[in-house]
Amino acid sequence: MKNQTATTLGRALKKFLGEYLPHQRAYSPNTIQSYRDSLKLLLLFIAGNHGHVSGLSVADLSPAKITAFLDHLEAKRGNGAATRNVRLGAIHSFFDYVGMENPEHLDQAGRVLNVRFKRVDHRAIDYLQADELRVILDGIDRSTINGRRDGVLLTFMFNTGARVQEVVALRAADFRLATPPSVRLFGKGRKERICPLWPETVQLVKQYLRDSGRDADDDSPLFRNHRGNCLTRFGVRLILTRHVTSAAKKMPSLKTKRIHPHSLRHSTAVHLLKSGVDLSTIAHWLGHSSVTTTHKYVAIDLEAKRKALAKVKPVTAMAGGTKRWNTSEDLLKWLESL
């Protein structure tokens, strides 16, 4: 009976990661890998030194053991509450699937889904003011192909507010460079959206394609590293960090900001908001599934106004002065291969 229940867990894991997430939920490869890593850590923790992962059953993944695993992440692995919640989110998603596909485990799935997330204190969102972005872009050395790549990369990210994964997946064929110019982006869940482009962005893209000897219908990744391979998310972060660090010498306000690729997305949203664009349009621009997500940028803008107001004395004062598995190695090898 134990072998049968262990097989149930193995099959559920395989279908969840190999079929359900990529095909039914259309999750990105990065999200699936994150879920895989979370579930792998959980299995290894529960198996411990007393047995093999292949011997575990769904029943072994009890709420008490899952809670112990989450505590272990914080106490022993040094993970913060946000990382703990990411791991728990993957576990919740898996048990939601298990309860749906295996009704005999509905009761346990319900109890696991009741394991609560930890409250996280969200940092204020850092974004770039127009003058800060201008100093960053003006400081890029465009005499080299990589410099021109960095210029079009950062300009494009601010123009579109695209997520970094959407940017590294771009191809020349995704652009419409004729009037009216636009780009096709594929967001979370492979949701497609069209974003308009500034004439300045179009000219930079055209020049970059000419420099790299590619046509407008080229189907290979648009942004490449110095080895000619597709630029990675980590590569985009390094590029941005390098230029922000350089610009901070001329713009001291950049030294106090925690700027990363998503900051450009925030900057786009705030820029659109301050320009009078309505929240519904901004939500479509950024690919938000709900306008509720976009509302956080209203808070950002209001906070900036409050800070400005605090520096100005009121008139009265002026007057007065964020397959079956037989061995644990087979299961772990399959998880690693995803």
Per-residue pLDDT of the chain (338 residues; tens, 9 = 90+): 455 555 789 999 999 999 999 999 888 888 899 999 999 999 999 998 666 888 899 999 999 999 999 999 999 999 999 899 999 999 999 999 999 999 999 999 999 999 999 987 766 678 899 999 999 999 999 999 899 999 999 999 999 999 999 999 999 999 999 999 999 998 876 678 899 999 999 999 999 999 888 888 888 899 998 888 999 999 999 999 999 999 999 999 999 999 999 999 989 988 888 888 877 888 878 877 665 556 665 555 555 545 544 554 444 444 444 445 455 566 677 666 65
Whether 262 is catalytic is yes
Q: Which of 224, 243, 271, 288 is catalytic?
A: 288
Q: How many domains does the chain have?
A: 2
Whether 288 is catalytic is yes
Claim to verify: residue 50 and residue 103 sit in the same structural domain: yes
In a domain, 308, yes or no: no
Q: Which of 14, 224, 265, 271 is catalytic?
A: 265
In a domain, 312, yes or no: no
Claim to verify: residue 221 and residue 112 sit in the same structural domain: no
In a domain, 148, yes or no: yes
In a domain, 290, yes or no: yes
In a domain, 303, yes or no: no
pTM: predicted TM-score of the whole model, two decimal places: 0.65
| Domain boundaries, position 206 | 130-294
Q: Which of 262, 274, 284, 324 is catalytic?
A: 262
Whether 271 is catalytic is no
In a domain, 310, yes or no: no
Claim to verify: residue 267 and residue 142 sit in the same structural domain: yes
Could you tell me the two tokens for 254?
A: 């950049």
Claim to verify: residue 139 and residue 274 sit in the same structural domain: yes
Q: Which of 14, 92, 148, 163 is catalytic?
A: 163
Claim to verify: residue 194 and residue 240 sit in the same structural domain: yes
Whether 297 is catalytic is yes
Claim to verify: residue 228 and residue 100 sit in the same structural domain: no
Find the CATH number of the domain harbouring 189: 1.10.443.10
Whether 188 is catalytic is yes
In a domain, 179, yes or no: yes
Q: Which of 20, 27, 208, 297 is catalytic?
A: 297
Claim to verify: residue 167 and residue 289 sit in the same structural domain: yes
Which amino acid, one-letter code, is at 174? D
Q: Which of 188, 206, 214, 324 is catalytic?
A: 188
